[in-house]
Chains A and B, each alone.
Chain A
Amino acid sequence: MIDTNQLFPFLMSGLGFGAVYAMSGTGLLVLYRTTGVLNFAFGAIGAFGASITWSAIENNWAPDWVAYLMCIAFCGAVTLGYGLYLAPRYANRDDLNKMLGTLGLALILLGFMFNLWKTEDARVFRLPTGTRRVQIEWFCNSEGKECVFDARISYTQILAVVFALVVAAGVTVYLKRTKMGTAMRAIANDREISSLLGVPVRRIEAIAWLGSGVLCGIVGLLLVDLFGSLDVVLMTWFVIPALAPVLVGRLRHLWVAFFAAFAIGVVEAELNASTWAWPSLYRKTTAYVVAIVALLWFARKRNLVISGRSTR
């Protein structure tokens, strides 16, 4: 029923994707709590940034590390730009319309990517961490041939997990301990009252936009390495499964979302270890099923969700 030899290597691979879900989730969740915007363009911005990196590496515009920074800078700039110039125009709309606005941005970016790059062709760049790998061989028998835990993981996978932890922990500390963080939480509770009380709403929102944009650039780079190639369509709509853990965290609980992200990543990978055909055929539905179940579970308490904004 289950191929036990594969459980451990699949766990490792699942943790890598779980980490990317967790990082995306952190970026999406903090931005939503601060600004009320569920940024559907998260994936498109990351894919665009990664495409710029690809061009820079391919045409030798700059050393590789500068090319990586270009991706992060682009994502930060576009996200911040949207936050400063377009998002305030939706300030009086509900969360649904704010979300639709970011869908517009996603379509525009995707359209430009199709026009600027030959997206039908294979495009690849490897992070330095992607080509270096560690062999894990734990609890091996005397000949050292059969091991209980046997897998090969790349430094990108390790980097993703460590980075996801650092980001989530960093954001938690920032929100709890710093003045800006406290202000951010105040805005999340009530934007207008915070503003009346003298909290610099615009500045705090700008920080949230920028931070989320930088995260989006990092996620973009990591995804190219984890997917094995730069697939802009895949990356653009990666935001949809990445929303699943955020929804499990009810769009507010960072650590719930964080662990849900890893759980989804691992389950998605482990379903492949089944020797029955259908769990592995339909493994890609994991994130969606989790999101649907979570939403329906919350819908039991009707008053919670009668309006989009009230749950924040």
Chain B
Amino acid sequence: MDADGESVCGLGNGETADGEPIKLGGIVTSVPGIGFDLITDQTAAYFDCVNANGGIYGHPISYTVENDELDPAKAGAAAAKLVESDGVVALVGSTSILDCPVNGNYYTEQKVYAIIAGVPAECFGVPNMAAVNMGPHYSALGAAQAVVRAGAEGKLVAVTGVVPGSEYNNTGVEALAAAEGYEYESVQVPLPISDADTIILDLISKAGEGGGVILTFTPPEMIKLMVAAENQGVIDDVIWGSATPANDGSVAAAVGPDWDGKLLINAEFEPTDKDGPDTRLYTSISTEYGGGQPLGSFGQMGFLTGRIMTSALLSMGPDAEFSRENVSAAIIGISKFESDMFCQPWYFGDLPLHIPNNWDITVVPDSASGTMVKSEECFAIAALDDPLIETRAAEVEFGLGAEG
């Protein structure tokens, strides 16, 4: 931060960094229908801004992103390329359906640390990876909490698409249903969705009048379902919740006014119109370096991974040797990273597993502005499973981050 309390990229001195580069890498899944490259693009945009502002004490960051294209063979080859051929010192911004399950053990063996946006369960159960987001499991759980508070009755139905590891997306809702005395049903639909009308009618009938339906889909699939619910006129039949990916400008813009205030989306981060230094910096980087990408949770994840990594590198001091070992130590050392986007400070720490972002904000679609607007302030994700219970205990015990 500069003297006025404004957030800046890196050193914020406006000088182009031209020293020996520090190599970082990331792996992204980007195929038609599932595109996480909004995240890595934003991480890259942040590093561009850092490099134009003095870099890491003169060292520019060289950031390489590999696309696994949902092919495990490619995911494995991409990790080998980044870690062995390119010799990256750490991984940052990775958002992939396959990276954690395919390469998790490999990263542990190679002692590479990663600050990522996690999708499958494997991203939230290892010592050397921590995500800025909470992943679909806790995100859907948070949305279900909002649905319960909004007065859902009788039954909760959790819905997601059939992709590797997708059971994980629904089990958080299952735990909440058990704890709160709801009936529960899990539905997995084949992707890509081609018959959204029948899926929606089926969900309504399963949930029953006044029940809760919690959706976990990427924006393109989400839009199909929301449009179908609009067509069938069933938006008011149940209470709808959604995991984070739906917090996207494209979703708000594509659906009609019938949805206003009716879809409780777990946003994980403060809305992008919030007046805070990091949010202002994110907005300006997005226009200046990110080619004017739509603002949303995905962009925030990319921004935050880049920003946290930069702060870890800067914490090493101007004379440090930016080796993999030293950078890993600096990453482990992140203990209280504050940002106006997070409900609570973020941390890495020497822990067996990481779920540092476990607080939630609810947003809803607003057709007048074509964006998502906040409807609930920060609340804690219910600690219903061992990993989150352990995480909350560790947060208190180690004095890391915030007390949950």
Residues 210 to 249 of chain A near chain B (Cβ within 8 Å): 227-229, 231-234, 238
B101: CB under 8 A from chain A? no
A119: CB under 8 A from chain B? yes
Give Cα A281 to B254, complex, Å.
28
- Establish whether residues B220 and A233, one from each chain, have CB atoms under 8 Å apart when the complex forms: no
Scoring A residues 256 to 268 as 1 if CB is less than 8 Å from chain B, else 0, what string do you get? 0000000000001
Closest chain B residue, CB of each to CB of A119: B32
Closest chain B residue, CB of each to CB of A236: B32
Give Cα A231 to B194, complex, Å.
9
Give Cα A22 to B375, complex, Å.
46
Q: Which of B195, B202, B222 contacts A17 (CB 8 A)?
A: B195
A269: CB under 8 A from chain B? yes
Closest chain B residue, CB of each to CB of A271: B198
Scoring B residues 345 to 362 as 1 if CB is less than 8 Å from chain A, else 0, what string do you get? 000000000000000000
CB contact under 8 A between A272 and B202, given known A120-B33, A120-B35, A232-B32: yes
Q: Which residues of chain A are near B314, meaning CB under 8 Å?
A: none
- Establish whether residues B223 and A231, one from each chain, have CB atoms under 8 Å apart when the complex forms: no
Residues 195 to 232 of chain B near chain A (Cβ within 8 Å): 195-199, 201-202, 205, 219-220, 222-225, 227-228, 231-232
B5: CB under 8 A from chain A? no
Give Cα A17 to B232, complex, Å.
16
Scoring A residues 267 to 291 as 1 if CB is less than 8 Å from chain B, else 0, what string do you get? 0110011000000110010000000
Q: Which residues of chain A are near B192, meaning CB under 8 Å?
A: 231, 233-234
Per DSSP, chain B at the interface is helix
B389: CB under 8 A from chain A? no
B16: CB under 8 A from chain A? no
Give Cα A307 to B342, complex, Å.
67
CB contact under 8 A between A10 and B198, given known A154-B231, A229-B227: yes
Scoring B residues 20 to 48 as 1 if CB is less than 8 Å from chain A, else 0, what string do you get? 00000000001111110100000000000
Q: Which residues of chain A are near B181, meaning CB under 8 Å?
A: none
- Establish whether residues B32 and A231, one from each chain, have CB atoms under 8 Å apart when the complex forms: yes
B251: CB under 8 A from chain A? yes
Interface size on A, residues (CB 8 A): 39
Q: Give the size category of B's interface with A.
A: 35 or more
CB contact under 8 A between A269 and B195, given known A6-B201, A121-B219: yes
Q: Which residues of chain B are near A229, meaning CB under 8 Å?
A: 220, 223-224, 227, 254
- Establish whether residues B233 and A272, one from each chain, have CB atoms under 8 Å apart when the complex forms: no
Q: Which residues of chain A are near B335, meaning CB under 8 Å?
A: none
A152: CB under 8 A from chain B? yes
Give Cα A272 to B227, complex, Å.
19
CB contact under 8 A between A122 and B198, given known A154-B231, A229-B227, A233-B32: no
B268 CB, nearest partner CB in chain A, Å: 20
CB contact under 8 A between A124 and B227, given known A227-B194, A234-B192, A269-B195: yes
A133: CB under 8 A from chain B? yes
Give Cα A66 to B172, complex, Å.
48
CB contact under 8 A between A6 and B223, given known A133-B231, A152-B233, A272-B199: no
- Establish whether residues B205 and A231, one from each chain, have CB atoms under 8 Å apart when the complex forms: no
- Establish whether residues A5 and B224, one from each chain, have CB atoms under 8 Å apart when the complex forms: no
- A residues adjacent to B (C-beta < 8 A): 3, 5-6, 9-10, 13-14, 16-17, 114, 118-124, 126, 130-131, 133, 135, 152, 154, 227-229, 231-234, 238, 268-269, 272-273, 280-281, 284
**Pairs of residues from A and B, 6 with the lowest C-beta to C-beta distance, nearest first:** A120-B35, A228-B224, A122-B220, A119-B32, A228-B227, A13-B197
6 chain-A/chain-B pairs, Cβ below 8 angstroms: A119-B32, A121-B219, A121-B250, A122-B220, A228-B196, A232-B32
* New A-B pairs, 5, CB < 8 Å, besides A120-B32, A122-B223, A122-B250: A3-B205, A9-B201, A120-B37, A229-B220, A284-B194
